[in-house]
Amino acid sequence: MVYLHGAMCETLRLYPSVPYEHKQSIEPDVLPSGHAIDGNTRILLSIFSMGRMEEIWGSDWMDFKPERWISVGSTDEKKMVVSHVPAYKFAAFMAGPRTCLGRKIAFVQMKAVASCVLRRFKFEVVDDHPVVPDASILMFMKYGLKVRVSNRA
């Protein structure tokens, strides 16, 4: 389940369900970056772009690497564990006082469905099918995702 969790986080890093978020200040404030903003300032956050920033994720930012979410536990056990990644770095569920309350249950549900479906079926993306995201208030596939589904032997 640790590797599955890493794969889900990596998917949400590259293709967040909500690719953009906006916030508005009530009064003048200073952002964590040090930038001062006036009151009643609207800020647009591109969660989609943040998941692709080399400054945040390193030179391998475009590689799909579930391993970036996994670390080895204590030296005695050598057991894989889910790494802690700050919510301000991985903002798919937002951060601070506006963090998604359903984050943990969302992961439980995704893991339950994925483990049941992947145990029984094999999925292959149809050759030459364009896999292109189409951003709106929610991220979805512009042309859908055509896959070939077969029973696992």
CB 148 within 8 A of CB 124: yes
| Residue 46, number of CB atoms within 10 A of its CB | 15
For CA atoms 9, 10, 16, 17, the dihedral sign is negative
What distance in Å separates the CA atoms of residue 79 and residue 15, rounded to the nearest whole number?
Answer: 28
DSSP 3-state of 37? strand
Check whether 9 is labelled as a binding-site residue.
Answer: no
Give the residue numbers of the binding site for heme: 100
Give the residue numbers of the binding site: 100
